[in-house]
A = this chain, B = another copy of it.
């Protein structure tokens, strides 16, 4: 019946979705979360508005998926580092922080995370899902903290709480990086991990 190649269609679809999500986070990070419009995103992705709605049913869905993908990528990176066998824990923490701080787009994820969790108009189930993913992503970091404590490299304290403060500090720093309006203080992973060194 179908003269189409179903497999290829699926691959094209996946590429399109990624294209749109990339465009979305780019626009959000330059225009701000509230001011990012569907037509801005469509323009950035080089597709029409109609096509956007072919892949996403609403602006909210796009934003939710952008955030979800960001959280999943971030969780994957944390899990990879936690499972890695040869790198010392402090180096892992350094790598993770450096990777996050290197991308000037990441502050946008922090804002979106916060907006999704605190804005009353966001449906409760989405707020819960975002919170759950955030909490789940703390686990691998906590494992790294615990490993480091076992080796005597990392300061004492509940590993989960340490992970939480570590992530909060990274997010707090991310927010300070406005291009062109830098604060006269260096933001670097070296200084950051010093707070967690034993």
Interface residues in chain A, defined as those with a beta carbon under 8 Å from any beta carbon in chain B: 29-35, 107, 110-111, 113-115, 117-121, 124, 127-128, 130-131, 134-135, 138, 157-158, 160-161, 164-165, 167-173, 175-176, 178-181, 183-187, 191-192, 194-195
Structural contact, A31 and B114, CB atoms closer than 8 A: no
Tell me whether A121 and B172 are in contact in the complex, defined as CB-CB below 8 angstroms, given that A161-B185, A178-B127 are known contacts: no
- Out of B110, B120, B176, name the residue touching A31 (CB < 8 Å): B120
Q: What would be 14 A-B contacts, judged by CB atoms less than 8 Å apart?
A: A31-B120, A32-B119, A33-B34, A107-B114, A110-B175, A111-B114, A127-B180, A157-B191, A161-B185, A164-B185, A165-B191, A168-B169, A169-B172, A171-B175
In whole angstroms, how far apart are the Cα atoms of A96 and B89 in the complex? 32
How far in angstroms is the closest Cβ of chain B from A123?
Answer: 12
Q: Which of B121, B138, B161, B169 contacts A165 (CB 8 A)?
A: B169
Across the interface, which residues of B come within 8 angstroms of A119, CB to CB?
31-32, 35
- With beta carbons under 8 angstroms apart, the residue of B32, B115, B157, B181 that contacts A121 is B32
Question: Sorted from nearest, which 7 A-B pairs have the closest CB atoms?
Answer: A34-B34, A172-B172, A168-B172, A32-B119, A117-B178, A164-B185, A131-B181
A174 to chain B, nearest CB (A): 8
A183 B111 Cβ-Cβ under 8 A: no
CA distance A176 to B117 in the complex (A): 8
Check B120 against A30 for contact (C-beta < 8 Å): yes
- Whether B161 lies near A186 (C-beta < 8 A) is yes
Q: Report B-chain residues with C-beta under 8 Å of the C-beta of A118.
A: 29, 32, 107, 178-179
